[in-house]
Amino acid sequence: MTRRRRGLLWPGVFAAVGVAVLLALGTWQLQRLAWKESLLSAIDARIHQAPAPIRPPSDWPSLKPEDYEYRRVSVAGMFEHAKEALVFRPQGTGAAQTEGPGYLVLTPLRLSDGTYVIVDRGFVPAARGDPSTRPGGQIAGEVTITGLMRSPEQRNLFTPADDPDKGQWYTRDPALIAAHFKLDRTAPFSIDADDTPVPGGWPKGGQTVLAIPNDHLQYALTWYGLAATLVGVFAAYAWSRRGGPVG
């Protein structure tokens, strides 16, 4: 092997490994794109279906989020307003988008069999966090709620820790709410109530965020572009050495 070729060996190895990694990342993003498009199609179909009854409690342990997320359902029960959890949000959506910081009102709905479903009743501005400021919305007696099934909200690195004892909630987590209020037999999912107006106007329902980002094609093209760039850089480097010593 000539000195020139030996000088290209390790740069060529590193370039080949880098190109392989970048191509793999691009292909993975294309796979994610297919998954995301399938998910968005399923969500679009589910949110426009007629509301169906929720699954019986005997089925709850086997439910998987991908099987029920965003399904439109209807359920009847009685709210236990004394056990509502206020989940902080920097702003509402839809009709509540201009209200500034506030809370999602998550309230246990007790069903006729004694089980519970946590209902996200909607958004209230910070000034209406205290239930006494919205007495009309504290509906007594049996109600029928129509909305979308939701899986527990996932945390990220920037999500503050919930502190139920201080009434500080930052995630829509039905299991945590049920444990804090000692609710037996609570559904592992919650329901986002639709935008049907409530007495007094608060909370404002219909807060489900449906604008789910789908940037996987852009990411795939970026990775593939970087792979092509790396090939070009190595080719330019190898070409620049063509006039070097051959012995």
Residue 106 CA to residue 85 CA, distance in Å, equals 5
Domains of the chain: which residue ranges?
Answer: 1-62+211-247, 71-201
Rounded mean pLDDT, 49-63: 94
Q: Which of 89, 108, 91, 87 is nearest to 100 (CA)?
A: 91
Q: Where are the beta strands (DSSP E) in the chain?
A: 52-53, 72-79, 85-89, 102-110, 116-125, 142-150, 186-193
71-201 topology per CATH: OB fold (Dihydrolipoamide Acetyltransferase, E2P) (2.40.50)
Residues in the chain: 247
- By the 10 Å C-beta count (0-12 exposed, 13-18 middle, 19+ buried), 103 is classed as buried
Model confidence at 244, pLDDT cuts 50, 70, 90, reads low
Give the pLDDT confidence of 180-199 residue by residue, as tens digits: 999 999 999 999 999 999 99
- Does residue 136 sit in helix, strand or coil? helix
Beta bridge partners of 192: 120, 148
Give the pLDDT confidence of 202-216 residue by residue, as tens digits: 999 998 887 777 788
Measured over the CA atoms of residue 66, residue 42, residue 214 and residue 90, the dihedral's sign is negative
Residue 114 CA to residue 149 CA, distance in Å, equals 19
The whole-number pLDDT of residue 241 equals 73
The whole-number pLDDT of residue 96 equals 65
